[in-house]
Structure 1
């Protein structure tokens, strides 16, 4: 599994209905993308859920590198780059993934937390933390990855309700494409 996210910062007075309309128009294009576990079409709006910014920031869990590369090198990512400029794409190697008790429910919010990897941190501990997060009330999925160029962990979770019990940046889910969710390997990724 590979995690990926890009963030498109938008002006404070940006009409976020433009992003909602865009996702309504094109979100289905990845509903059957080969190699994709899930894509959560995410937004943060200034003043909502504690967000200081307007932002479009999709988050991906990829089953295969080939699917990810096909998306980045000539797929729908090119259209996004044409419209907004090419954003920096963050990638994390998968550490752990678990389905939660609310799997199959509509996703309402997502929480992303990025934290430095402590020098003595053991990734097995992170895998256990993902399992614990997945057992939370209303969790659809929980995952963690590590960026070894920055020694940073990303923890990502999708929730079926507005009150997530996880720390981090809260995003609203506009659409969820999950063609390969059932095929993502569960548990630790090594």
Structure 2
């Protein structure tokens, strides 16, 4: 599993209905994308759920590098640079994935927490902690799924989860989920990824 996200931080007065309309028109285009486990079309609105910014920030869980590369280099992603400029695309290697008790339910809310790994921490212990946190999140009431991945260029762990209701009180950013494309969700490997 590979995780990927780009963030488009928009002006404070930006009409976020433009993003809602964009997703309503184009979100279905990835509903059958080969190699894609999940794309969550995420949005934060300034003043909602504590967000200080307006932001469009899709989050992806990929089953295959081929699918991810086909999306990035095959033309589908080009609409973002054409309309907003080319964003930095973050990528993380999968560490763990778990299905929650509310799997299959609509997921209107996502929670993402990026956490640096301090110097001196034992890597295997940090990854085991990420696996346990993934299982803990998936076990919470209303959890649809939870995943963890690591960026070894920054030594950062990202925890991502989807919720059938409000996300639990936890560190991280809360996003509205505008649409889910999940053609390969059932093929994402569960549990620890090594």
- Size of the aligned set, in residue pairs, is 190
What does the per-residue CA deviation read over 1:163-183, in whole Å, with 9 as the maximum and x for residues that have no partner? 434321000000000000000
Correspondence for 1:153:
157
Name structure 1 gaps, 5 residues minimum: none
Is structure 2 residue 122 aligned with structure 1 residue 120? yes
Contact 2:167–2:174 (CA<8 Å) still a contact in 1? no
Q: Which moved more, 1:57-66 or 1:161-170?
A: 161-170
Correspondence for 1:186:
190
Which one of 113, 131, 139 corresponds to residue 135 of structure 1?
A: 139
Per-residue deviation, 1:74: 2.4
Q: How does 1:1-190 map to 2 (within 5 A)?
A: 1-118=1-118, 119-121=121-123, 122=125, 123-190=127-194
In structure 1, C-alpha distance between the alignment counterparts of 2:131 and 2:75, rounded to whole Å: 32
Counterpart of 1:167 in 2: which secondary structure? coil
TM-score w.r.t. structure 1 length?
Answer: 0.97
Contact 1:136–1:165 (CA<8 Å) still a contact in 2? no
Root-mean-square deviation (CA, aligned residues, Å) is 0.9
Name structure 2 gaps, 5 residues minimum: none
The alpha-carbon distance between structure 1 residues 164 and 76, as it changes in their structure 2 partners (threshold 3 A), is farther
Runs of 4+ residues deviating >3 angstroms? none
